[in-house]
Amino acid sequence: MKGKTFAICDSDGGYLRMLQAYLQKKKPADFEILIFDTVSGALEASREAAFEILLVGEGIYDTDVTKISASKVFVLQEDGLKGITGHSMIVKYQSMERLIAQVLEAFALDDSCGSVRRHGKNPTALISFYSPDRHRGQSAAALGAAQVLAEEGNQVLYLNLMPFAGFEELLETSYDADVTDFMYFVLNHSDKLLYKLDSLKRCIHGVDYLPPALDYTDLLRIGRDDWETVINLLLYSSDYTHIVVDLSETCQGFYDLLENSDQICLPTDGSSMYAQAMRSQFRSLMQAKEYNKILEHMVELELPSNWEEQCERLESLAASCIGARIKGVLGRK
């Protein structure tokens, strides 16, 4: 066995195969996935090389589990009648996404568990979306671009840094933690970035994303240097080919993010003199501050006049009129 191992031991063959398939598809934190249908099989394998994580079914649990060499053991709880103690309990029958998120969250928070330092396998491009005129189409354009990139076979992370994203209502979901929780954790445990990332991220139309801030003041409290640290960790330690940032001034690293972006898209519909004046002021400010790199990488994205009618479902933005327009802009400077 090589690298970090994520072992699952359960007598339910169907459950084992289902969980194995899910983990092999998602590949959380580069774990090698091993499955066992007996405790003795898991014990023998752990003598060759210790497991990083072991999930063991409550129904198959016996005293030999305590002899298995593993950094962290989780019991997949079924009815709770065995009275098992000394291990973390995880509800077995829940969504695979939620189960693995809980496991990785607990693993990341455990100081006794191993860390991982690595360089990403792919060069990562940073693409920022920003509307000086506060155009409400900015988030639709940014998420649409992320979906277009994902459809082309890229690994994409979308970060929404708007003060009020509205995702819980738009996606009919709820979040227990958000992007600021991720940032605070990573700033103190940079070596466990992948564990925290895989425990918190969600997915929409092939695009990974971190839940947007529930309170925008949490974004304001993160300093400029901290923004730079976290973004650099994501750029150089993850396996994403693209990070798409839905940017606002709540980010104290605002100018730095723009300056480090490979492309900056300014969504606009050019509908009012006020919007035009705001964009003009933004360009003038960049010129006055001599942010030549920002000016060079900026490209305006003129949104179709009827974009809102086609963009009610955030899951299908790549197929909307915005998605079609984005395809002609991405990669152009």
How confident is the model at residue 26, as a pLDDT? 79
Residue 286: its pLDDT value, please?
Answer: 95
pLDDT digits (tens, 9 = 90+) for 211-240: 999 999 999 999 999 999 999 989 988 889
And the tokens for 127? Answer: 């693409």
5-109, which class in CATH?
alpha beta
Give the pair of three-digit tokens for residue 271. 């509908």
Span between the terminal Cα atoms of the chain, in Å: 46
Q: Would you state the pLDDT for residue 320? A: 83
Q: What is the pLDDT of residue 276?
A: 87
**Contact between 191 and 117 (Cβ < 8 Å):** yes
Q: Which residues of the chain have pLDDT under 50?
A: 1
pLDDT at 1: 43
Query: What is the pLDDT, as a whole number, of residue 121?
Result: 61
Q: What is the pTM assigned to this prediction?
A: 0.79
CATH 3.40.50.300 location in the chain:
125-327
Query: DSSP labels for 175-240?
Result: -SS-HHHHHHHHHH-GGGHHHHHHHH-EEETTEEEEPPPSSHHHHHTS-HHHHHHHHHHHHHHS--
Domain ranges in the chain with CATH number 3.40.50.10850 = 5-109
CA distances from 96 to 72, 75, 142, 244, 266 (A): 19, 15, 28, 26, 38
* CATH class of the domain comprising 125-327: alpha beta
